Amino acid sequence: MKTFEEKWTAWVDDELNDAERAEFEASLDDRGAAEREKSQAHKLGALLKEQLQPRAMGNEEFFHHQLRERMAAESKQSAPARAAGGAIRSWWTIRRLLWTGSASLAAFAVCTFFVLRQQPQPDQSQYLTQILNAQVDPKVSPYATVSIFQTKQDRVTVLWVDGLKSLPADYAAK
């Protein structure tokens, strides 16, 4: 279903059939004012069509001449390339691409070697040494027990602290 604005525009442009036009004109409150507005819209349209004509293109032949000259120059430039087998020479020849690719791969390998070079890991980390050397103060937590489980093959150490009420202040600072 069309909105009022769509019906209004179709009525002004005389695009409604007889039944739709009669129904729309019956729905108007002031048909005389609507007819005046319709005639003013037609007058405005005619004035705009009269006054806003596209201007004629000047120097049309000169424009076509420039295009023809440019096309001729481009065809002369590409004629030697077609005569030489159709191959257009480029700065990126196959040999240069191979050298650039191999140099890039070599630079990547060198950077990867220096960045990802692993240093041998000691048997125990410095953190595990601190944990093994730490003792629970019996005054703070008299029933605290510390159990340490280690597996060297997986490099895992589990520290199980049971009954500890709080950590010493010097341990928390590390």
Spatial separation of the C-alpha atoms in residues 45 and 124, rounded to whole Å:
92
What pLDDT shows up at residue 36? 92
pLDDT in tens, 128-165: 555 555 566 667 666 777 777 777 676 677 767 777 66
Q: Higher-confidence residue: 83 or 104?
A: 104
Identify the domain boundary among 14, 33, 50.
Answer: 50
pLDDT in tens, 98-133: 999 999 999 999 988 888 777 666 565 555 555 555
- Count of domains forming the chain: 2
Q: Higher-confidence residue: 66 or 167?
A: 66
Spatial separation of the C-alpha atoms in residues 148 and 66, rounded to whole Å:
89
Q: Which domain holds residue 144?
A: 126-172
Domain membership flag for residue 16: yes
Domain membership flag for residue 155: yes
Indicate left, alpha or beta for 163 from its phi (over 0: left) and psi (-120 to 50: alpha): left
Residue 136 near residue 144, CB atoms below 8 Å: yes
- As a residue count, the chain comes to 174
**pTM over 0.85, yes/no:** no
- φ, ψ for residue 159, nearest 5 deg: -110, 115
What pLDDT shows up at residue 71? 87
The DSSP result for 110-154, as a single string, is HHHHHHSPPPPPPSS-HHHHHHHH----TTT-TT-EEEEEEETTT
Spatial separation of the C-alpha atoms in residues 81 and 87, rounded to whole Å:
6
What pLDDT shows up at residue 173? 44
